[in-house]
Amino acid sequence: MFILEKGARFVIPRTEMTYPAHSMKLHQNAADPEKCPVDHVMADFEDACPYEFKGDKSRRVMVEALNTLDFGKKVVTVRPNNIHSKFFQGDLEAVVLGAPNRFHGIILPKTRGPEDIQTTARLLDDLERRAGWHYKLQIESLIETPQALIKSYEIATASDRMCGLIFGIADFAANLGVREIVDNQNQNFHYAKQAMVVAAKAAGLHAIDNVFLRLWRKEDPPERVEQLQRELREKNIGAANLGMDGTWVIHPQQAPICNECYTPSPAQVAEAQRVIRLYHERGGGSMADPKTGEMIDEATIKIALMDLAKGAQAGMVSLAELREWAEKSKSITGYDILELMRRVV
């Protein structure tokens, strides 16, 4: 998770929107809370940036955007070219030295192993010191190759700057020689996605699913729009069921549906509160829920606690209530699942 405002706020992103870093208009749109209702924005020097803008042209625009635009409560990150690219160090130097204390993290693409994270962390140590940063930039790593997937837990634990892993389906599929990356992706890439989720959660990081590459256009007939919206929803509900905390998006049109897929409904939050309250009122242990007939025990209560944690991020549950129930669980089990999984600061 992203820890912000000197520990006063934390964000586990439901939506991370990527866009080209060379366009000031796209930066302005990304900063707009109405045009772009996402939790996290990521300006891209890498795959989304045309060749002619790589280097100083895109860097100047990026630094100007960071220093002049108000992104509100969004998490703001930058994706440099990958660490083995001739542009990598210059990209990092430009934004860290040129916009101190104006953004929150680095998205590291094409990560091969923990040594890439460690090299980036050391470079950030030096650049932050030189620029007078008041906090440490955090790192999200893209898992885009079979080698990175195998090393994903080592990557996740390579630095205390690490906050999340992201599954990059296009590059991963290319490495496998797989052509189809949209239809049936949660089945076809089930192992890879959940392996990354397990590595992220074992390290206490958030896990972000890949983009959905199909967008609807103004001229599309209503049935086409409905079909694409249904496919987007199905993909993200499936990813959430694999343990993903959120997803990348490539256009603001995708944000409302995606936010909904990774946020418990008011009814789900109310049900989690009811079950937790019932469980503790009856003294814990294994019992049948009188409303549903389902069995409840301490393990199933932790599922409800995680729902409340997601509800807290969405402003549906107070942090005081969340901590109260977590403390009750900890007094019985000896550990707090929300602390273990870094769901709270």
Q: Which residues contact 4 (CB under 8 A, 6 or more apart)?
A: 10, 11, 75, 104
Instruction: Name the pairing type of β-strands 75-79 and 246-249.
Output: unpaired
Predicted confidence at residue 345, as pLDDT, reads 62
Q: In the CATH scheme, what architecture does the domain 2-261 have?
A: Alpha-Beta Barrel (3.20)
Q: Give CA–CA dist 50/140, Å, rounded.
A: 23
Closest by CA position to 254, among listed 285, 229, 227: 229
Q: Give CA–CA dist 131/93, Å, rounded.
A: 10
In the chain, where are the structural domains located? 2-261, 266-340
CB 316 within 8 Å of CB 268: no
Helix (H) or strand (E) holding 241: helix 222-241
> Hey, CA dihedral for 276, 278, 284, 288, is it positive or negative?
negative
Q: Rounded to whole angstroms, what are the CA distances from 5 to 8, 73, 104, 135? A: 5, 10, 10, 9
Q: Which tokens sit at 34?
A: 């109405």
Helix (H) or strand (E) holding 299: helix 298-313
With a cut of 70, list the residues of the chain below it in pLDDT.
Answer: 345
Q: Give CA–CA dist 270/330, Å, rounded.
A: 22
Predicted confidence at residue 183, as pLDDT, reads 92
Single-letter amino acid code for the residue at 278: L
**Total residue length of the chain:** 345
> Hey, CA dihedral for 229, 230, 236, 240, is it positive or negative?
positive
Q: Which tokens sit at 26?
A: 């796209």
Q: Which tokens sit at 20?
A: 């080209």
Q: Per-residue pLDDT tens for 259-312?
A: 999 999 999 999 999 999 999 998 888 999 899 999 999 888 888 988 998 888
Q: Which residues contact 326 (CB under 8 A, 6 or more apart)?
A: 305, 336, 337, 338, 339, 344
Instruction: Name the pairing type of β-strands 206-209 and 9-11.
Output: unpaired
Single-letter amino acid code for the residue at 279: Y
Report field, pTM of the whole predicted structure over 0.85 = yes
Q: Per-residue pLDDT tens for 211-226?
A: 999 999 999 999 999 9
Residue 197 CB burial class (10 angstroms; 0-12, 13-18, ≥19): buried
